[in-house]
Amino acid sequence: MKVPLSWLKEYVPVHMPAAELSESLTMLGLEVDSADDRHAWMNTVLVGRIENVVPHPDADRLRLCDVAAGERRVRVVCGAPNAAPGLLAPLALPGTEFPDGRILEESVLRGQTSEGMLCSAIELGMDEDGNGLLALAPDLVPGTPLPAALNLFDPVIEIELTPNRPDCLGMIGIAREVAALQGETLRLPAVSLPKEKGAIGDRTSVRIDAPGHCRRFTARMLMGVTVGPSPAWMKDRLRSIGIRPVNNIVDVTNYVMMETGQPLHAFDYDRLAEGRITVRLAEEGEKFTTLDGRERILDGQMLMICDGKQPVSVGGVMGGLNSEIKNDTTNVLIEVACFEPASIRKTARKLGLGTDASHRFERGVDPANTLNVLDRAAGLMAELSGGELVGGHIDVHPRPARPCIISVTASQINNRLGLQLDRDAMSGLLISVDFTVVPEGEEGMRVTVPSFRVDVSRWQDLSEEVARLHGMDRIRATFPPMRGGGRPPGPMISLRRMIQDLLTGFGCTEVISYSFIERESTDRLRFREDDERRRQLTILNPISGDMAVMRTDLLSGLLHTVARNIARGTRTLTLYETGKIFLSNGQDALPDEKERLAAVWTGSRRAAHWENADIPCDFYDIKGLLEALFAGLRVRDTAFSALADDRCSWSRPGRTALVTVSGQEVGMVGEVRNEVLADHGVKQAVFAFSLNLDRLLPLLPGEIAASPVPRFPAVNRDITIIVDRDTPAADMLDHIRAAKTDLVKDVFVFDVYEGENVPEGRKNLSFRVVYRSDTATLEDGQITALHTRISHDLLSAFDGAFPG
């Protein structure tokens, strides 16, 4: 938002320099990006007096002018018809940088050196008309910089407004803030309407067929206008903020919009079929040509302003060529409306058409101010065009808004901000920016929010207003008035933190991916048709086609991450992610949100090092990682069993295990199918596990009773047995643990072998059994007898044989 200081002073006295005002506005919450004099570039443009003019020897239309600028004498090649001895005109010296980026250099034109340039009003950006040099007053002193000679000092403050402050997208909004800052009174522009003639209801009507998209529509009419140039003061103000003047009618709409922050539009009334207005949604595929000359393809959610036969404007975005103001326009219909922000935002994005009007409507305009803006525009148009104002106005307001009223106490605000202001001080601050405050009780306030402040709806918003108006820099640092400690995290949050600490400690890398994913993810993971993970929730306004649905599994995101890292040269990865998946219950209902953990391992078993052999990771590595995680979580009674082939979605049958805790399924672990890897762009083996944390959480142990350190030594004995290749090692471990003795403290597999000296279809499994007594040192004979019994029981139970 560009704010020329000269324009701002129309509404509020300014008692401080531009730099100080900029700093104060920033502290007020309106961040100033720059504060530059818009005429500063003219400091190398001097008042020059033409001393002599002679024809150019090699060009009929050019002349050589000797120009005096103080003590400086230069020769300039000039083609202006009004260049004559004695004329004072602007002289731009070499090095002058014009607003369009051109830098003037000494040049040679048809063999003659030009040491500068005599300028017209067009070249200085001071007018769009005129063919000759800008004739300066004869009493000016040659050699004086043009800004000083013409008193052109006018700083322009550029403010980077946040989207929550649409009220400051007009000069009056900024002036209101400056008035509060300085303790001054805001001066609103006087609205002067000429004598009215006739009745607008006899000439036009307005109907709103899309009340959900248009909150209010007001209109006035002017008859017998004369379209022509705007006065110099209006054109200069529009140029100062980067708007090109067009004509007196269009310029008034732009001027009033920049003054009030409310967009408006002017139609050529005689080009409106049947002289009436209908506000409706476009038809799907309907075509419309906007003021920029481009044909637009519309959809059924775009709001259109139509006459009796066809659209004449894209509501809130841009008008149409078929109703634009032209030089022969004599009758004008002025529109001031209030549109739904979301509707305008979507339309502007779809059409790729961002305008000053759509920028303001997207953020929200004040529906209560439309009539004031309408009268302001009608009065200015009548003044500048000579038209007659048709009596009355049209006001269609299908959804009047109720005022926002907030009750708050001074203590609430003071406690939040660490201040000690009384109610009267707070009331004064709020009243200074047009809030209405009524005292309630001893320290309470009933505050009515002005309709233009769409960002204020809670008492916390009022505390922010008090803070910024009081001065953020005046608030001392204090401890917040809150109880120490705080609430402990919930059980699921605690579990996730424990998992993150453990897996990161094991050397894994955490991944945090988007919850949005491509629709094809369920097909790529080979989920069955009846799998609940096919219940995808579609996003209404996705960022891209690859983020069209909410994820129903974490693995797809991890595999995409693996593919990206491998493509960049990182081939060994151990990644994990904890987070929610989302299962749709229909587009009109909230989804089921479930907590999941997934991890992947690919590449080598160990990090590359000269001491380490490059051994590829396998199923037992990812299974061991999961077992280490369970040990860290103190989860007991875990088991791994073969998963039925028809349940292996993303994993390879025969290389997948079902994970259970206390007999309940909590996840799966296995090798990822080659076709799943190919669909994700991965060209090397990947092993993964997936856990349902919602099921795991209630299975975690509670408090664990401490036990003394064992007093007596343990004895390790091994069992090696040949069994059928399909025999699960987990079943054999369970069989050993079930031996009727309390001397077996631990048992685990330490070797698996298939190959030479082992029959085809069989495998060699080696178990280590840990024996220990809690009351005495075990005798060798006692251990041998027990170990022999367990070994033979295992042999008979699983049709096994001892090697050799």
Across the chain, which has 804 residues, the per-10-residue mean pLDDT values are 94 93 94 89 93 92 94 93 94 90 90 92 79 91 92 90 94 96 94 93 95 95 96 92 93 97 96 94 95 94 95 95 95 96 94 94 94 97 95 93 94 92 95 96 95 94 95 86 73 95 96 93 92 91 86 95 94 96 90 96 83 85 95 90 90 93 94 95 96 95 79 93 89 88 90 88 93 91 92 91 85
Q: Are 743 and 771 in contact (CB under 8 A)?
A: yes
Q: Are 373 and 241 in contact (CB under 8 A)?
A: no
How confident is the model at residue 688, as a pLDDT?
97
CATH code at 40-150: 2.40.50.140
How confident is the model at residue 691, as a pLDDT?
97
Domains 40-150 and 715-797 share a fold: no
> Which amino acid makes up residue 793?
D
How confident is the model at residue 726, as a pLDDT?
86
CATH code at 2-38+155-182: 3.30.56.10
Token readout for 98 is: 């014009």
Q: Are 655 and 642 in contact (CB under 8 A)?
A: no
How confident is the model at residue 482, as a pLDDT?
66
Q: Given the structure tokens 């402040």, which residue do they identify?
A: 453
> Which residues, in sequence order, are CB contacts of 155 under 8 Å at separation 6+?
4, 5, 18, 35, 36, 37, 38
How confident is the model at residue 485, as a pLDDT?
64
Tell how strand 277-281 and strand 206-208 pair up.
Answer: parallel
What is the CATH architecture of 405-474?
Answer: 2-Layer Sandwich (3.30)
Report the distance separating Cα 306 and Cα 301, nearest Å: 15
Q: Was domain 196-396 assigned CATH 3.50.40.10?
A: yes
How confident is the model at residue 253, as a pLDDT?
97
What is the CATH architecture of 491-699?
Answer: 2-Layer Sandwich (3.30)
* Contacts for 534-540: CB closer than 8 Å, 24+ residues apart: 535/583, 535/584, 535/585, 535/591, 536/584, 537/582, 537/583, 537/584, 537/587, 537/591, 538/584, 538/587
Instruction: Say what the pTM is.
Output: 0.65
How confident is the model at residue 126, as a pLDDT?
81
Q: Where are the domains of the chain?
A: 2-38+155-182, 40-150, 196-396, 405-474, 491-699, 715-797
Nearest CA among 606, 626, 625 for reference residue 616? 606
How confident is the model at residue 483, as a pLDDT?
67
How confident is the model at residue 39, as a pLDDT?
86
Residue 602's DSSP bridge partners are 573, 686
Report the distance separating Cα 331 and Cα 327, nearest Å: 11
The four Cα atoms 176, 180, 185, 188 give a dihedral, to 10 degrees, of 0
Nearest CA among 24, 6, 1, 2 for reference residue 153? 6
Q: Which CATH number fits domain 715-797: 3.40.50.800, 3.30.70.380, 3.90.600.10, 3.80.30.20?
A: 3.30.70.380
